[in-house]
Amino acid sequence: MEGQEIILQNSNRIARFTVRDFAAVAFRRSRTLLFCFFGILLGSLIAAVVWPTYRAQTEIMVRRQRVDPVVTAEQNSPMVVSGTVTEEEINSEVELITSEDVLRKVALECGLDKPHSWLGTRLGSSDPERRIGKAIKNLRSSLGVDSLPKTNMIRVTYSSSNPQMAARVLSVLDDVYLQKNQEVQRTPGQFAFFDQQTQGAKAELDAAEDRLKAFPHETGTANPNLARDIALQKVNDFNASLGQTEAALAESKKKIEAMEQLSQTTPTRLTTQMRQQDDAPVLQQMKSTLLALELKRSDLASKFQPDYPPLQELDREIADTRKAIGAEKPLNDVTTDQNPASAWINAELVKTKAEVRGFEAKAEETRRLVNQTLASAGKLDTEGVEQGDLIRTAKAAEEKYLLYLHKREEARISDALDAQRILNVAVAEKPSVPSLPRESLLMYGLVGIFLAATVSAGIVFALEYFDPSFHTPAEVEAFFNRPVLAAVPDQGGVPYQVYGGSALGPAFQAPEPE
């Protein structure tokens, strides 16, 4: 180590120092070094005893215990349920803890903006907002919020010289944070909004149902669609009946034509019996007359001559009578009766013609009924459309009412859960008043030793750096840029008497250090 050199440069001075030179500096400034070292160490120990730092802590768990439905227009609100808490959610809760609103409420409730000493009252600002801003800044600097690795926990720490104040700040922070989380996780006024919408939807539903109830009384039909279907079914039946009637009418007309043709070729009467016989009474009378005439002639012939005129007249009468009797023909007795075929044809013809009149009347009436039923079906269809609109309106109003009723119940449940502080975050570890300082006296001692050694060495080397006197031959050689011929230690308070010279100039004697 003695061969190792350190080059120091100050303006026009360049000096080379060894470890031994540093040790010489420490011995030369030993009084200053000891005063600084022990003073700083003593001050650190006194500060550790008089102003200890207490750190309280609380832990908050982020969980998936509660899942609020999303406010949408759907009947079934989408709900995303997952047991895994993401890093983004934990970071969001960390930012919420350190938000300006939370810290401001904590500072005001704990009185961190108020001075706690006479000096603070004198030196503090008179502006309340400035004091609050400074309190929030100090609170944020003393507050530690860290998410624990591989857990759903957030650790919050706060350091203060007052252990009660440290625990109180974290306790108030937990309450304010839970309230803030409750505010940001739900929509304010949600229950009131859905309650108002539910009442409006109920009024619309009542009005739609009243219109739907009054519709049958206005139209006289309870179910127009059913009545229309029945009417259309009747139309189909009437059309079927009309078709049958028209077919029967056509058949009857053809039947009349056929029967009229048959009636022209069918006789009305038929011969049932034919007999031939003489006309007995006439012949008997004629024979009696002939006999009487012959008797009279015989009587006259016995009395008179053949040329007697009455006798001749009798002969002529007798001849005529015989001629008449010879010319008499037998009588034909013919019996006839009504022709049953003709009678049946005539009866069927009359019947068929009557049926034709009936079929024509029936067809006409059926057509009238079809037209009337179609008109009624058209009216019922229009009424059915109107009733369908009323039903759809009532159905939409009912769905709207049920939707808002469901949403209002969800909002009421959310409010009840909020009132019971059932949230997705919970205070897993409540803050307690710390009984021991944050660091032990040994830790303060080690830190004080390190700080005292660093500051003392810095002060000593600063004094040495700004000291204009020479303490080593190397400083003299570097300052005058001349080789040093000899260095003689001096016991009079100056370490060396240095003499030097060169071929380029006269010898010199280094000035004594002041």
**CB of 269 within 8 A of CB of 338?**
yes
Burial 197-214 (b: 16+ CB within 10 A, else e): bbeebbebbeebeeebee
Structure tokens at 314: 């009798």
| pTM of the predicted model as reported, rounded to 2 decimal places | 0.46
In this structure, are 157 and 273 located in the same domain?
no
Structure tokens at 365: 């009436």
Q: 233 lies in a domain?
A: no
Percent of the chain with pLDDT over 70: 70
Cα separation, 108 vs 130, in Å, equals 13
In this structure, are 272 and 151 located in the same domain?
no
Three-state SS at 335: strand
In this structure, are 78 and 163 located in the same domain?
yes
In this structure, are 63 and 155 located in the same domain?
yes
Q: 220 lies in a domain?
A: no
From start to end of 148-223, where are the E strands?
153-160
**CB of 513 within 8 A of CB of 494?**
yes
Q: 192 lies in a domain?
A: no
In this structure, are 174 and 271 located in the same domain?
no
Q: 289 lies in a domain?
A: yes
In this structure, are 285 and 175 located in the same domain?
no
Lowest-confidence segment of 26-35, 370-379, 468-477 by average pLDDT: 468-477
The secondary structure element, H or E, covering residue 314 is helix 309-327
From start to end of 247-405, where are the E strands?
269-277, 331-338
pLDDT score, position 11: 43
Cα separation, 2 vs 18, in Å, equals 6
Please state whether 291 falls in left (phi above 0), alpha (psi between -120 and 50) or beta.
alpha
**CB of 500 within 8 A of CB of 473?**
no
Most confident of 331-335, 366-370, 439-443: 366-370
Of 152, 40, 2, nearest to 456 (Cα)? Answer: 40
Q: 40 lies in a domain?
A: no
pLDDT score, position 514: 41
Amino acid identity of residue 484, one-letter, is: V
Chain-centre distance for alpha carbon 51: 60
**CB of 221 within 8 A of CB of 383?**
yes
For 164-196, write each residue's pLDDT tens digit: 888 888 899 888 888 888 777 766 677 788 888
From start to end of 347-432, where are the E strands?
425-429
**CB of 464 within 8 A of CB of 6?**
no
pLDDT score, position 364: 92
Cα separation, 97 vs 176, in Å, equals 9
Mark which of 307, 341, 375 sits at the end of a domain.
341
What value does the mean pLDDT take over residues 312-329? 76
Number of structural domains, the chain? 3
Chain-centre distance for alpha carbon 486: 100
For 298-318, write each residue's pLDDT tens digit: 877 777 777 777 777 877 888
Mark which of 160, 185, 210 sits at the end of a domain.
185
Structure tokens at 254: 């053809």
Amino acid identity of residue 56, one-letter, is: A
**CB of 57 within 8 A of CB of 156?**
yes
pLDDT score, position 505: 38
In this structure, are 163 and 267 located in the same domain?
no
CA distances from 484 to 5, 16, 464, 505 (A): 18, 14, 22, 13
Q: 374 lies in a domain?
A: no
Mark which of 164, 185, 206 sits at the end of a domain.
185
Q: Fill in the DSSP letter of residue 482.
A: S
In this structure, are 64 and 174 located in the same domain?
yes
Q: 361 lies in a domain?
A: no
Q: 414 lies in a domain?
A: no
- For residue 498, the enclosing domain spans 479-514
Q: Which residues does 306 contact at the CB level (< 8 Å), separation at least 6?
A: 312
